[in-house]
C-alpha cells in the first residue's frame, strides 16, 4: 500500500449508525465517538501481524503469538534475499576474495556478492521490497547477497523491533476517540513510530468519525475485510442499544420483555 492513507466510502455505514442513535434516542455525537473507536479497534484486529486470520467475537487487537508470527515473517522474508554463512572465518575469506562480485563455492555460484554492514543490507532489502505491502520478493540463489550470521542477526534484530507499527497506527487512532481502548503493550510501544489520528466532526447536519492511519500492512483492511467489520459492528451496536434501553426502562419501573 506504499504508506498511503486508508480511504474508503462508509457513508452508508455512517447513515446506519445515525439511524440507530435516533431510534434509541441516544446522544449522536458521543455515540459516533464511541462506535468509531470500536470500529477502528475491530479493524485493527485484521492488521498484520496475526498468527491466524482473525475470526469470532474476540476484541483483542493482538496477542504475544501474533507478535511472534510477525517476527518469524520478517526472518522468512530476509532469508529470501540473504544467504547466511554460519562461520565468520569462512565469510571473511569469501568477502576478501569476492567482495561485491558474484560469490562462488567451488564451481557453484552461491550469491551475487557479499555485504558486511547494516546500511548496505538495508539498501538491498529496500530494493527488493514489494512497494505495496513491504514484503520481500523471492530471489534466486545467485541473486542473493551473502552475509555472515552475526550481521544477519544484527539486521534482523533491528527489523523485528518494528513489528506492530501498522497495528499501532490504527490503535493510536482508536485511542484518539476513546483513551480507554485496550491496546497490548507490544503494540503500544510502537506508537512513537506510528501515524494514526481520529476525530469526530460535524459534516453538514450530522456527526461523523474521521480517521487516518499510515503504515505498511494496512492494505489488509480494505474491501471485503471492511465490509465484514462493518456488518459485525452494526450488529453489536444494535444489541448494545437494546440492552441499554431495557436497563433504563427497568430502572424507570417499566415492564420490558
What pLDDT, on a 0 to 100 scale, did the predictor assign at position 248?
54
| SS percent in the chain: helix, strand, coil, step 5 | 50, 15, 35
pLDDT lower than 50: segments of the chain: 1-3, 252-257
Instruction: For residue 238, give the C-alpha cell.
Output: 444494535
What pLDDT, on a 0 to 100 scale, did the predictor assign at position 8?
53
What pLDDT, on a 0 to 100 scale, did the predictor assign at position 2?
40
Helix ranges (H only) for the chain are 11-23, 28-44, 64-78, 88-98, 118-127, 149-160, 165-177, 185-188, 224-251
What pLDDT, on a 0 to 100 scale, did the predictor assign at position 89?
96
CA 47/CA 5 separation, integer angstroms = 14
Amino acid at each position: 500500500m506504499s504508506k498511503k492513507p486508508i480511504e474508503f466510502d462508509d457513508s452508508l455505514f455512517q447513515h446506519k449508525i445515525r439511524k440507530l442513535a435516533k431510534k434509541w434516542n441516544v446522544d449522536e455525537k458521543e455515540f459516533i465517538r464511541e462506535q468509531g473507536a470500536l470500529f477502528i479497534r475491530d479493524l485493527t484486529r485484521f492488521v498484520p501481524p496475526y498468527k491466524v486470520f482473525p475470526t469470532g467475537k474476540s476484541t483483542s487487537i493482538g496477542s504475544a503469538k501474533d507478535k511472534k508470527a510477525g517476527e518469524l515473517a520478517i526472518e522468512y522474508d530476509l532469508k529470501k534475499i540473504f544467504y547466511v554463512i554460519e562461520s565468520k572465518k569462512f565469510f571473511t575469506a569469501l568477502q576478501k576474495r569476492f567482495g561485491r562480485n558474484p560469490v562462488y563455492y567451488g564451481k557453484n555460484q552461491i550469491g551475487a556478492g557479499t555485504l558486511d554492514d547494516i546500511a548496505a543490507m538495508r539498501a538491498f532489502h529496500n530494493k527488493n521490497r514489494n512497494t505495496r505491502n513491504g514484503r520481500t520478493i523471492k530471489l534466486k540463489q545467485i541473486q542473493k547477497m551473502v552475509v555472515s550470521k552475526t550481521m544477519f542477526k544484527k539486521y534482523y534484530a533491528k527489523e523485528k523491533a518494528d513489528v506492530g507499527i501498522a497495528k499501532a497506527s490504527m490503535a493510536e487512532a482508536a485511542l484518539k476517540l476513546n483513551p480507554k481502548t485496550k491496546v497490548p503493550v507490544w503494540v503500544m510501544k510502537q506508537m512513537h513510530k506510528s501515524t494514526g489520528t481520529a476525530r469526530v466532526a460535524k459534516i453538514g447536519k450530522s456527526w461523523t468519525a474521521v480517521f487516518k492511519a499510515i503504515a505498511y500492512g494496512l492494505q489488509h483492511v480494505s474491501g471485503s475485510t471492511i465490509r465484514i467489520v462493518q456488518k459485525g459492528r452494526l450488529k453489536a451496536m444494535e444489541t448494545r442499544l437494546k440492552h441499554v434501553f431495557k436497563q433504563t426502562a427497568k430502572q424507570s419501573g417499566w415492564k420490558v420483555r
